[in-house]
Structure 1
């Protein structure tokens, strides 16, 4: 090969490489969202079996109607597989953007990637996906939600200050593999271990469901009759645990402290009634923040990878006064 032909070969190879790299970079970019007067928005909900989810859906729908947007809604009924199918259906319907509340961190990755490939931006609501498999700003726009680790930590910090000698904890975990369950456990377990003097005698999933929470609490109270604290990852399981405590002939809130996360009206009322001792709110009213983020993205603003929802805290000092504001 001559010097000239070698040089031409190298230049050609470099050009091909640059095109390939450009293609890779283009694929890595997020789909754009045009500025329009109205949008066809999809909301892929994970389930509707509790007040928190219902409040979230109502907020998303009400805000869409207020803005004059077409609202395409699906309910996965607690199935990650159905939720993936729901997102694929929205892609087929040609929505402008998809709001996704992923049931689990890993199984919803294909849905996120399918939307990206179809040129439809995705905003995650209240639950995240596995960060090692998909990233904000690259595969989806952002995650809007609470700081679940901080929620668990706040419960532990309250308990450390108000335990009055109670120290044996039953933990009712949320849906296995979901980001709130993972993070609420991490935040609580680390903070309560750091506080010292406490033991988590049992930790088992109640799948964020009231009846499952009751059943698990009943079994764990029988196995650990000396347990004197129940920490539930959500209100539904906490309310189920109250029934289990009463069935065991004990007084919830006194014989056994009950701690929860979500802050629905029924749980805040239980704080007023003395059956739940403290609740960290997980704000379900996503509508205003979600559509504000949509507008910012369409405008071309840089969106932070995590848009944080702020959460209240309820205990006997403020529950009665705040009851009317709870969802």
Structure 2
């Protein structure tokens, strides 16, 4: 009987030593750094883009595509052609395909809760880029990567306030807004108005959407010029609309940048060319190269890391003289 007890004890001791050795090996591996979840398989990212309405958007799309390729991600890309229903359809398609992460730049702010809840129920994290959504439930997305559009509007207003601080008469301003209901259109208008409202001589006499496109910017500026004899300033929510407006101003026999002061937002290369020629007086930068930040956010989310709910991109402001110096360095 004692023999059997000793044998059982020996077997038990050997088993415990093997388990301890195995645990010790795992502990050593862990001390070298555990393998992140995002490294286990190829990541599939579904990206629903607004469209291709401007030079800024083209640069943004290229940044996402190039960064995804560099990161080794499989990218499923769709162009919504500036229609919300197209983006919702794409997001639902990504849910059905069981992608790892969904990212998109919302055409407009509202109307997203239903499809975002569908993504959440499917266990697919969502990242917003460039534009935000108007939702009371911020658990429907992981983070929003992009510019501070309100601050962009403020920057435009501050420059204008300084330029006309000594003016004695009224300063008549026309405004080319972005796509109606979009975050940049709403916020750039709000930030601009916040700054100029306390100076009674700065008057916005006309404001209309130009849909962020060059053609629409030209068309709306033509109507502004016909309806208003004295326009001192144009505030355009993006460079493409400003460039279209410049065509209309020149066709009317006026000099852009002189007869009508022009403020624009974006900082694409064509805008910098116009600014270096003195046709745009002030540009507020909105950086489209969000690809690297997006790919890092995708990895962090899949690895279970905590990320900021709001990631703001770094940007600058440029006068005509600044644009001349900076033009050779523009990447978009």
The bucket for the TM-score relative to the shorter chain is 0.7 to 0.9
Instruction: Report the equivalent of 2:172.
Output: 168
* Superimposed CA distance per residue, residues 127-176 of structure 1 (whole angstroms, 9 cap, x where no aligned partner): 000033x31xx110010010000000001111111247471100111111
* Superimposed CA distance per residue, residues 34-72 of structure 1 (whole angstroms, 9 cap, x where no aligned partner): 433430011100101321111111111111111111010
Secondary structure of the equivalent of 1:318? helix
The answer to whether 1:232 aligns with 2:236 is yes
Instruction: Report the equivalent of 1:142.
Output: 143
Instruction: Report the equivalent of 1:35.
Output: 38
Task: Note the 1:231-310 alignment, pairs <5 A.
Answer: 231-310=235-314
Deviation at 1:190, TM superposition (A): 1.1
- 8 Å Cα contact 2:174-2:224 kept in structure 1: yes
Secondary structure of the equivalent of 1:320? helix
Instruction: Report the equivalent of 1:16.
Output: none
How many pairs does the alignment contain?
A: 292
Task: Report the Cα distance in structure 2 between the residues aligned to 1:263 and 1:71, rounded to whole angstroms.
Answer: 27
- 8 Å Cα contact 2:276-2:321 kept in structure 1: no
Task: Report the Cα distance in structure 1 between the residues aligned to 2:177 and 2:130, rounded to whole angstroms.
Answer: 17
The answer to whether 1:88 aligns with 2:89 is no
**Is the alpha carbon distance of 1:112 and 1:201 closer, same or farther for their aligned partners in structure 2, counting shifts above 3 Å?**
same
Task: Report the Cα distance in structure 1 between the residues aligned to 2:305 and 2:199, rounded to whole angstroms.
Answer: 42
- Structure 2: runs of 5 or more not aligned: 1-35
Q: 2:133 aligns with which of 129, 152, 171?
A: 129
Task: Report the Cα distance in structure 2 between the residues aligned to 1:267 and 1:204, rounded to whole angstroms.
Answer: 21
Task: Report the Cα distance in structure 1 between the residues aligned to 2:198 and 2:329, rounded to whole angstroms.
Answer: 33
Task: Report the Cα distance in structure 2 between the residues aligned to 1:111 and 1:215, rounded to whole angstroms.
Answer: 35
Deviation at 1:97, TM superposition (A): 0.1
Task: Report the Cα distance in structure 1 between the residues aligned to 2:263 and 2:324, rounded to whole angstroms.
Answer: 17
Instruction: Report the equivalent of 2:19.
Output: none
Task: Report the Cα distance in structure 2 between the residues aligned to 1:245 and 1:288, rounded to whole angstroms.
Answer: 38
Secondary structure of the equivalent of 2:78? strand
Instruction: Report the equivalent of 1:21.
Output: none
Instruction: Report the equivalent of 2:57.
Output: 53
Task: Report the Cα distance in structure 2 between the residues aligned to 1:63 and 1:142, rounded to whole angstroms.
Answer: 18
Deviation at 1:296, TM superposition (A): 2.1
> What RMSD, in angstroms, separates the aligned Cα atoms of the two structures?
1.5
The answer to whether 1:316 aligns with 2:285 is no
- 8 Å Cα contact 2:277-2:320 kept in structure 1: no
- Structure 1: runs of 5 or more not aligned: 1-32
Larger Rg: 1 or 2?
Answer: 2
The answer to whether 1:202 aligns with 2:206 is yes
Instruction: Report the equivalent of 1:110.
Output: 114
Task: Report the Cα distance in structure 1 between the residues aligned to 2:274 and 2:52, rounded to whole angstroms.
Answer: 22
Instruction: Report the equivalent of 1:63.
Output: 67
* Moved segments of 4+, more than 4 Å: none
Task: Report the Cα distance in structure 2 between the residues aligned to 1:63 and 1:111, rounded to whole angstroms.
Answer: 26
Task: Report the Cα distance in structure 1 between the residues aligned to 2:320 and 2:82, rounded to whole angstroms.
Answer: 33
Instruction: Report the equivalent of 1:152.
Output: 153
Q: TM-score, normalised by structure 1?
A: 0.86
Deviation at 1:317, TM superposition (A): 3.0
- 8 Å Cα contact 1:112-1:140 kept in structure 2: yes
Deviation at 1:325, TM superposition (A): 2.9
